[in-house]
Every structure is written in structure tokens, then in C-alpha cells.
Structure 1
């Protein structure tokens, strides 16, 4: 099998990345907790993923295959948490914003205190699933973390993903029971 071409996302990839992630996460426990209404899911999920894309695209930490068919949005080590308040408050009603903040606060309280690379989003458009592109874009970020000599961290609330990530070398290091069961996983520097 030929290795896929992995590229760093540019602003021109925004629409394709958002479209792929909205399609990939339609049944994801976190996205369904945040945006439970079928009618508003596409719009709110697009705003959410657009926010994450915009925060990271200029950091050059979004790896893609097919300019968005498969996407890994990584956050490099940060010294202080970033606020989502300004951009998200204008896009979501109060109840949705409260769920976003509750989930974000619960997860971030469980993350390590020492520096790490954070895999915030990993998704492949359903039309491109099964090609191992997700693993390819994930590995691009893992290589970058290894260059820095830092561990990589992610969270998942999808029980099926825990075993998938374990097979890729991740291990569960913590769990968060509320607002929904979430596993914090880490892959240490080789």
C-alpha cells in the first residue's frame, strides 16, 4: 500500500477539514453531549471545529491527508490555557456554551501538569474511512512530539476508541466520570 501524502493544513483547507470532521463525529459521544439536537448539530459542530481549526492553523499543527479528508488537530505545549469565551460565546446559546465549558474544564483538570503535545481532534470523513489515514496523520503529530522529547496526550469518550488507541501505543492514564465518561490517554516518548 502506498503511503498517503500528509500535508500541514492551510487556511484554504478550512472548509474541507470542517466538513470531514462534522461528518466523522455525527455519533461521537462528546459532540452529541455538546450538541444533542439533530437540527442544530451540523451548524454547531461546524462552528466548534472551525474554532479549533482557526486556533491552530497558524501554528502549523494540523496534519491532513487529501487536504482535509483525514485530519489530526494537535495543540503544541502551552504555558497557559487559552480562552474560548470570545469566539464561542457569539456562536452558541447559553445552554450549549455551558456544556462546552463544563466538558472542557473537566478534561483540562485531568490533563498532566508537565508539558505535552495534545491530540485534540482526530477524524476521517466517512467516505475515506478504512484507509489508515487517521493513523498516518496521528503519527505525524507523534513524530513532532518525539522531536520535542515530550509525551502526547488525548482524550476520548468513545469506549470503542480506547482499544483502537491502545493498539496504536496509547495507554489510559486517567478517567473523568463527569460530565460524561472520558479516558485520558498518553503515549510516552520512545
Structure 2
């Protein structure tokens, strides 16, 4: 049995660790945090900073747990007004960003994130910033449960969802849940992400 509940602040470190595991081979993350040296630790720092400055502050960080309470997966959504106060939140997380990226790597990450942001819809929407499942639970419905928990709410409140998908396998799952591909995202080293949008399901 899988239950999905919002994270508490004390859950952000283990949630970041799960995302670091899930994104260890992701081509977009590899362009931001290249090389093998302490990569898992650096990714954990990066995701902790991203969660704290974005989804946890403005939207929701959902955790999927098994019957024993073990966290199996994480879905992090930024709310429709996530841009308000974002610079102050990111500045507060600057030490973690620096540990993850290095001072020389931070400008590269800013350029990449800005490139991704240009494809986001101008109309208010919920943004799936990150989703990841532990290796042992992949293929068991955890990702679908995480996504459905928030998408059901967005259908009820008639709100739009948006994400970027970096792999064909992920896009197949997103299409089954109502997302449509709207444009490729060019200029991401080693990756070909695609922007995807989901309107509320018909009543």
C-alpha cells in the first residue's frame, strides 16, 4: 500500500537524498553537476536547496511511503506564484548551492535554469520541478501515485500543470496522465528535454 502525504521540513534531507539517487544518471542533472567526485552528496545538497527555496515554500513536496513509513518517492511542485520572493529564498540557500555546484559552476546552472524557464507558460500553473523514486520501488506504481495525488487536486480546482521531461520513458507516463508535448527545449548539453502541459481533465 502506498500513501502520499506532504513533507515536513525534517523530511527535506531524506527527500533530497532520494532525488539525488533518482537523478544520478539524468542527462540534465549531469550537465549541471558533472563528474563522479562526491556527485551523490553534491546532488543531495542541490536538491535540498531547490526544495527549500522553491516547492516547499510555494507549493508542495509530496512523499510516497509504504506501510512501514519508508519514503519510496518524492514529487515537488512549485505553486502558481512561485516567482514572488524567489531571489530571497534562493539567497538563503546559497551555501548549499555553492557546495553542490561550486562557485564556478553556479553561472552555468543559472544559464541552464533560465533556458528552461523561458518555456514555462505565462498563465498561472503548477510546475512539477522534480519527481523521483528509489531504485527498489521503480515500476511499482509509486510515480503514478505521486503524480495522481496532485493532478486530482488540480482537476478539482481547474488548474494547469507543466513539466519538462528529459527521457522518452518518462514522457510515456506523463502522456498517460494527460500531459501533451508542446515544444522541444534546445541548448541543454547532452540532453533533449521536452516541455509538456496538462490542462484540467474534463468534468
TM more than 0.5: yes
How many Å separate the matches in 2 of 1:79 and 1:35?
24
How many Å separate the matches in 2 of 1:165 and 1:136?
12
Contact 2:162 2:195 in 1 (8 A): yes
Give the number of aligned pairs. Answer: 188
Deviation at 1:79, TM superposition (A): 6.3
In structure 2, the partner of 1:25 is 23
Q: Which runs of 4+ in 1 moved over 4 A?
A: none
Q: How does 1:112-151 map to 2 (within 5 A)?
A: 112-151=121-160
Normalising by structure 1, report the TM-score: 0.89
**21-30 vs 66-75, which deviates more?**
66-75
Q: Tell me the alpha carbon deviations over residues 140-169 of structure 1, each in whole angstroms, 9 at most, x when there is no partner.
A: 121232233211000022233222322222
State the SS of the aligned residue for 1:78: coil
Runs (5+) with no aligned partner, structure 1: none
Normalising by structure 2, report the TM-score: 0.84
**75-84 vs 93-102, which deviates more?**
75-84
Q: Once superposed, what is the RMSD of the aligned Cα atoms?
A: 2.0
Residue 51 (1) aligns with residue 62 (2): no
State the SS of the aligned residue for 2:76: strand
Contact 1:76 1:118 in 2 (8 A): yes
In structure 2, the partner of 1:183 is 194
Runs (5+) with no aligned partner, structure 2: none
Counterparts in 2 of 1:97 and 1:174: CA distance versus 1, 3 Å: same
In structure 2, the partner of 1:65 is 64
Contact 1:116 1:145 in 2 (8 A): no
